[in-house]
Structure 1
Amino acid sequence: MEKTRVAKVEDVTLARRGEQVVGTLHLTPHHIIFSHSPPQSEPARAQGLPVKPKELWITYPIISFCTFRPAPAASRQPSAIRLRCRDFTFVCFYLANEHKGREVYDSIRTWTCKLGRIDKLYAFAYQPPPPEREFNGWELYDPQKEWARQGVDCDSHGWRVSRINSNYEFSPTYPAVFPVPSSISDNTLNYAGKYRSRARVPVLTYLHPVNNCSITRSSQPLVGVRQNRSIQDEKLLAAIFSTSRSERPLAGFTPPHLDKESSGSTQSDLFNSQTMSEFPSAEALEDEMLASFQGDPEEKPQIYGAQQHNLIVDARPTVNALAMQAMGRGSENMDNYKFATKAYLGIDNIHVMRDSLNKVIDALKDSDVTPLGPSRDQLARSGWLKHISGILDGAGLIARQVGLQHSHVLIHCSDGWDRTGQLSALSQVCLDPYYRTLEGFMVLVEKDWLSFGHMFRHRSGPLNSEKWFQIENERIGGDPNRSFGEAGGAGKALENAFLSAKGFFNRENSNRDSPPESEGEMQSYDSDNPGVRKPSGSAPKSVVPEKEVTNVKETSPVFHQFLDATYQLLHQHPTRFEFNERFLRRLLYHLYSCQFGTFLFNSEKERVDYNAKERTRSVWDYFLARREQFVNPQYNPLIDDHKRGQERLIFPQLNRVRWWSEAFGRTDAEMNGTGASIPSGGRDTSSTERTPVLTGIETARRSISSRASDKENRTVSPGTLDVSSQVSSLTLSEASEEPQDQNNASRMEGETQ
C-alpha cells in the first residue's frame, strides 16, 4: 500500500456549521485529525493556564464523499477539500497551497480506498483503552442461552435446536444453530432448503413466552413461472403454525410418500409439474393437514389459541414479488398454504431506501459552509419518514398478530436479510421488554442481524469506493454520484434500462451455491465482483474475495432505518427503554467507524473465517465500559398489563413519527420545526390520514389489494420491475463523532460530539 504523501499541514482552515477556525491537519494511517487552539478566556489567561487544544477526528471508512476543488487560475482563493461523512458530519478544509491540497486529497483517497481487504481496516489494529479491556462483548450473545430464555428447551413447546448448519454448508448465510419444530427432521430441512432462496428455510427467531406463538423468518420460495411447490416446505410451515397447540396435531404426522424423501429424490423431482403427478394424494394431503390443524369444531372444544389468524408476511411490494416469479423466485402460492393468510407490506428495496437518504443529504449538504437549516420541503420530498412509518407499521402488524391475536407469523422479503431483519427485530422490541434493556437490545442485534446474515459488509461499504472521490473540473463524462448527493439524470435512466435488461435475461435460478445478491429484485451483478459470474453449482472457497472494493449499488441504510425506527419507539414510549437516544446514535456511528469487528462482515460464517472474535474487539465493549452514559433515567422496568404505561407490549404510533434530528447532526427545531411531531410519512401537519400497512392480502381463496401503493410515487413499465427507482446514484452519508484510536480516556469524548 502507498504511503501517505503528506502527514502534517499547518495553517489549514476548517469550515463547519458555518464557522471557521485555523489549525493543523494531521493524516495518520487510520484517521484525519484536525487540531486547533480555541481562544482563551480572560480568567484563564490571567492565571497562566495552558490552552488545551481541541481536536476533530475523522476515521477514513466513515467518509462517504470527498471533493477536491483546486484553486482557480489567477485567483487568490484557496484550494478546498470537502468531506461528507456517514454520521452526517460535513466539513471543508481550505489550504492556501494548491500542491499541498492535492497531496492531502490523494493521501485521504489512498488511505480510504486502497486497502482492498477487510482485515486491513482499523478494527484489526485497534487497541482498546483499559475500561474496555475488562469486557468481552463477543460472549454477550449465547444462542443456546437465548433460546432457553424463550423456552425452546421445553419439550412442551414443540421446538428443538437443529445443528444441520454447524459447518455452514447447509446455508452459508444462516447461523450454525437454529430452532425448528420438533416434528421436523433434518432430512426434511434438506429438501425444504432446495425450495427457499439460499436455503434460508423458515426457522424460529422469537417464541412468545405467554402464548407460545412464534415469529419465524426465511427467504422467498422458488415458485417460478411454473408454480413450483415443495411438500416439505409446506409441512415445515404447517408444523411451525401448529406448535402453540397443546395437542400439536401435526407432531408425528407424516404425509403420504414423504417417507421416501431419502430415497434419492432430486430437486426437479419435487418441483417439476409433471413429476408432481406422481403424488396423487397431494390435494388430499393438504386437506388432511388443514383439517388436522384446524380441528373439528363440532367434535372438539375450542382451546386457547385455537382461533388463530396465522400470517405469512411478504415485506415486498406486490408487483416486485410477482415479477420475481419470472426469474424463478416469487412468493407463496396460498393454494398450497391453506392454513395461513399472506400480507404484502409494500416496503421498498435497498435502492429506493438509498435514494431516499440521498435526498435527505441534498437538504443537508451545505452544512459545512452555511449555518442555515435544511429545507423542510426537500426533507419532506425525500420520503424518508414515509419509509420509516411503513417499516414501523409492518412491525406493529406482526406484534399485534403474535401478542394480541395469539397467532404465528412468518416473515420474508427476497433473501431475508434486509427488510426481514428490520421487521423481525422491531416486532420483538414491541413484544418483549427484555429487548428494551441495554443488554437485551445487544442480544437482539446479535441474533436477528449478525447471526441471521445481514450483509453489513455490502450495505455499509467499509472499504469505500473510488466513485466517492472526485476532483472538480476533471470529471470525464457524467458522474452518477455527483457532489454532495445531487440526483441523477439521463445517464442514470440509461444505466437502469441496461441493468433491467441484463437482470431479466441473465438471472439464474440458483440458491445456496449462488453468489450474494441484493434486495433489489432485478439486480444481476455479482455482489463481490461485478461483471464476473461464478459457475453454477460451485461454491466459492471464501465468502470474501482476496481483493475487494465496495459495490456502490449494494450499499443501503437498512440498519440505519432500524435504529431510526427504534428511536421512534423510544421517543413515543420514553419510560419503557433502559437505553437512551445517545446509545442509538453512537451505535449508528460505530456501524461505519470500523473500529470494532462487529459490523464488518456479511454473515456468521465470515466472522468465523476471519477469526474475528480473536482478532478484533466487539462494539459492545465500548458501550458496556461506558454504561452510565447510555442509561435512560426515565426507565421504569415494572411490567403490569393492568396499569397504563407499564404494559408488556408497546406499539408504534404512526402519527408521531418524526425526524431523528440528532442523528442527522441538526437541532430538533431545524428538522421538526417548532411544532410537535411530524405525521407519518412527513406529510403536511394538517393531515391525519393513516396509510394502511397491507398492500395486499392473499389466502387460498382470494387475493385483494387494499391500496395502490405499488404504483405510488413510481411508474412501472411493462416487463420491468421498477428498476428506475431501485438504482440510485449515490450511497448514504455518514462519518465521525469522536476520537477513536487513543487510549487516553479524555480523548474518547472529543469536540465532535
Structure 2
Amino acid sequence: MEFAELIKTPRVDGVVLHRPFMPTVEGTLCLTGHHLILSSRQDNTEELWLLHSNIDSIEKRFVGSVGNIIVKCKDLRVIQLDIPGMDECLNIASSIEALSTLDSVSLMYPFFYRPMFEVIEDGWNSFLPRDAFKDLESMTDEWRLSEVNKDFTVCSSYPPLVAVPKSIDDDTLRKVATFRHGGRFPVLSYYHKKNGMVMMRAGQPLTGTNGRRCKEDEKLINATLRPGKRGYVIDTRTINVAQQAKARGGGFESEGNYPQWRRIHKAIERYNVLQESLIKLVEACSDQSHSMDRWLSKLEASNWQTHIKEILTTACLAAQCIDREGASVLVHGTEGTDSTLQVTSLAQIILDPACRTIKGFQSLVEREWLQAGHPFQQRCAQSAYSNSKPRQEAPVFLLFLDCVWQILRQFPCSFEFNESFLVLLFEHAYASQFGTFLGSCAADRARLSLPEKTVSLWSWVNRPQELEHLTNPLYEANSLVIWPSVAPQSLLLWEGVFLRWNRSSKCLDEAYDEMVHIIEYNKELQNKVNSLRRQLAQLETDDPLLNTP
C-alpha cells in the first residue's frame, strides 16, 4: 500500500493553528505518510510536526466556509486547525483518520526514521540479558540462564533467555509451562543481595475446577526457598476473581499442594476498568469550568488515585516480604503481563537503589516490561480521547510511571532522573520515532527485526546533551530501601502529565531553573571552602608558628 493513496489533499495554505500556551500561527499544512506538518513564514514561530500515530481522535466542525479540525493526541494535547474550504477540511480529516489508524506495524514511522544524531551507544545492545545475568552470578551461583525458549515455542511472550533455579532442567520447565497461563512458567525477576531472597513472576496456574496439580511446578518454586523458610504468593486478583478463573481453566496455588507458600490476594484492576478510569480523569482535568466540589467529585469518580494506591500497596507488600520478612515472593495475576509487572518493577525501585539511576531504570523497563512481554502494541493503541470501543487498551504502563512519580516526589533526592524522563517514556510508549516500544513481546521484535531496522530510544536518551535535561539536580545516591507512603493524602495528581496542556508551567519552570542555579552556586561555594581549607592546611604545615596557641 502506498501512503499517497490515503492522502486526498497533501497541502493546504492559509491554515490557522491553535495550541495550548502558544501564539496562534497561520501557515501551510502538509500531510506526509507519517506526519502532520504546519509551517509558517512568520518569524520566530515553531513548526508543528505531529506523528499520525500520536493522534487519538479528531472532531470536525464548520463555521461558514471554514472548517475546524480538533486533533486530540495520545499525549493528551489538544490542538485546533482552522482550514479554509469545506472540501479541503473533509479531505484532510479523512486522510488523518486513515493515516492515524494504520494496522500494519511495519508501516509505522520507526521503520522510516533515520537519526539526525550520531549513535554513540546502540541502545539495542545496552541491556542484554547475559550482561544482567553476570551481575547476578557475582552474587550467587544458585541460578542459571536457560535457552529453553530460544525459538519462542515454550512461551510466546517470554524472551529467548530466562533466569531459573540451577537445579531445574529444561525438560521440567517445559512441563511447568503447560501448567501456567500462556506458558509463563515462574522466572526470576529480582535477587535481593542483602539476604538472598528472590522475587519471581509467572502466569496463573491452570488448576481448573478439578484442582489439577503439577509436581514440576511445585518443585520449581520450592527450589527458590531456603531450608526452613516460607514464601509468599502475591496474587493480584481478589479471591473471588481467582475462584471464578477456575471455571475458565485458570486458578491459584492451593495450600495443600504448596504448603510452604502463603497466598495473599490483592485487588489490582485490569483492562477496561483502567481505560475507563483514564478517560474519566482526563475528562475531569480538561474541563476548566468545574466548581471545586464538582472537580473533586469527578476526580474521585475516576478512581485513578485508588488504582495508584492499590498498585503501590501491593508493591510495598512484596518488598516488605523480601526485605523485612526475609521471604521469597512469587507474583502473578491472570496472564502475568500487566499488574504482575507493575508490582515486580515497583518493588525493585523500593528495594534496589540501582533502579533509581537513569541507566538502572532503563534496564528495569527493558527487563520487566519489554523483555517480560507487556503487550505495548495493544495496551497503548488508544489513549484517553479515542472514539472507538476499547479492546485491549489500558494505561498499565502509565499507571506504573505515575506510581514511580509518586515515589520520586516523596524521595526527591533518591532518584538520578527527574520527572521529564518519566513524561518522555509515557510519550514514546504511545507514539515514537524509535522502535523500542513497538511490538508486544521479544518474539514480535525479533520477527520485525527491530534492532536491525529501527533506532532504540536509549540510543537517543543516553547522549550527554539529552541526559543533561533528564538528570535530577537534587540526586544523592541513597543505598537504603525507601518506603513510600500510600496514605491518601500522600498521593497527588500527576500534574506534569494530566494538567500540562491545561495550565502554563512557566512559574514552575522558572522555580526549577532557580533551584538549579542555587545548587550550582552552592557547589561553587563548597569548592571554594574546600580550596581554602587545603590552603590553610598547607600554610600550617609550612609555618609551625601558626599552630602555636
Same fold (TM over 0.5): yes
Between the aligned partners of 1:404 and 1:33, the Cα distance in structure 2 is: 55
Deviation at 1:333, TM superposition (A): 1.3
Cα displacement (A) at 1:179: 1.5
Equivalent residues of 1:572, 1:652 under 8 A apart: yes
Change (3 A) 1:669 1:16: closer
* C-alpha contact 2:20 2:502 (8 A) present in aligned 1: no
The answer to whether the 8 A contact 2:379-2:394 is kept is: yes
> What is aligned with 1:356?
277
The code of the aligned residue for 1:190 comes to R
Report what 2:392 is aligned to: 554
Deviations 1:155-177, CA, capped at 9 Å, x for gaps: 2xx22221111121111111111
Q: Residue 83 of structure 2: which of 77, 86, 95 is its match?
A: 95
Match of 1:322 among 235, 243, 250: 243
SS at match of 2:242: helix
Q: Tell me, yes or no, if structure 1 residue 390 matches structure 2 residue 228.
A: no
Corresponding residue number in structure 2 for 1:229: 213
Match of 1:428 in 2: 348
- CA distance in structure 2 between the partners assigned to 1:632 and 1:404 by the alignment: 29
1:377 positional shift: 2.8
Post-superposition offset of 1:420: 0.7
**What residue number does 2:460 align with?**
622
Please name the residue that 2:527 is paired with: none
- Per the TM alignment, residue 77 of structure 1 is displaced from its structure 2 partner at its CA by 7.0
Shift of 1:379: 1.9
Unaligned runs of 5+ in 2: 509-549
Q: Is the 8 A contact 1:392 1:426 kept in 2?
A: yes
**2:203 counterpart of 1:219:** yes
- Contact 2:55–2:74 (CA<8 Å) still a contact in 1? yes
Name the amino acid aligned to 2:424. R
Deviation at 1:347, TM superposition (A): 0.5
Q: Percentage identity across aligned positions? A: 31
| 8 A contact 1:87–1:664 mirrored in 2 | no
Confirm or deny that 1:107 pairs with 2:95.
Answer: yes
**Residue 116 of structure 1, CA deviation:** 3.0
* CA deviation profile, 1:363-409 (whole Å, cap 9, x unmatched): 24458xx9999934322210101101110111111111111211100
Q: Which residue in the other structure is 2:24 paired with? A: 21
Offset, 1:154 = 3.5
The secondary structure found in structure 2 opposite 1:174 is coil
Q: CA deviation at 1:670?
A: 9.7
TM-aligned CA distance change 1:381 to 1:176, over 3 Å? same
Alpha-carbon distance, 1:610 to partner: 1.1
1:205 to partner: Cα distance: 1.2
Distance of 1:364 and 1:58 partners within structure 2? 23
Indicate if the aligned counterparts of 1:393 and 1:652 stay in contact, CA closer than 8 A.
no
Give the total of aligned pairs: 497
Instruction: Quote the residue 2:301 is aligned against.
Output: 381
Equivalent of residue 134 in structure 1, options 107, 110, 120: 120
Q: Which residue identity lines up with residue 566 of structure 1 in the other structure?
A: V
Structure with more strand by fraction: 2
- Cα distance 1:669–1:366, how it changes in 2: closer, same or farther (>3 A)? closer
Q: 2 CA distance for matches of 1:658 and 1:667?
A: 18
1:657 is matched with which residue? 491
1:19 positional shift: 7.3
Aligned to 2:545: none
Shift of 1:652: 1.8
Query: Partner of 1:633 in structure 2?
Result: 473
Q: Deviations over 1:635-663 (max 9, x none)?
A: 00153xxxxxxxx2012211311111111
Query: Given residue 660 of structure 1, which amino acid in structure 2 is its aligned partner?
Result: W
Label 1:419 to 1:670 Cα distance change in 2 as closer, same or farther (>3 A). Answer: farther
Of residues 419, 437, 441 in structure 2, which corresponds to 1:603?
441
Distance in 1 of aligned mates of 2:392 and 2:379:
6
1:313–1:666 CA distance, 2 compared to 1 (3 A): same
1:53 Cα deviation after fit: 2.3
Higher helix share: 2
Note if 1:572 corresponds to 2:410.
Answer: yes
Q: Is the 1:11–1:22 contact (alpha carbons within 8 Å) kept by the matching residues of 2?
A: no
Q: Which amino acid aligns with 2:18?
A: A
Structure 1 residues 231-286: Cα deviation after superposition (integer angstroms, max 9, x where no partner): 1111111112x2xx3xxxxxxxxxxxxxxxxxxxxxxxxxxxxxxxxxxxxxxxxx
Q: Read off the aligned partner of 1:10 and give its amino acid letter.
A: D
**Stretches of 4+ aligned residues off by more than 4 angstroms:** 370-374, 667-671
**Cα distance, 1:110 vs structure 2:** 2.1
- CA distance in 2 between counterparts of 1:372 and 1:135 reads 51
RMSD: 2.6
For 1:313 and 1:152, the matched residues in 2 are separated by 28
Match in the other structure for 2:516: none
One of 346, 351, 371 as aligned partner of 1:451: 371
The two structures have a TM-score, normalised by structure 1, of 0.63
Q: Matched residue of 2:76: which SS?
A: coil
TM-superposed CA distance for 1:13, in Å, is 2.8
Distance 2:376 2:239 in 1: 26
3-state DSSP class of the match of 1:554? Answer: coil
Contact 1:662 1:668 in 2 (8 A): no
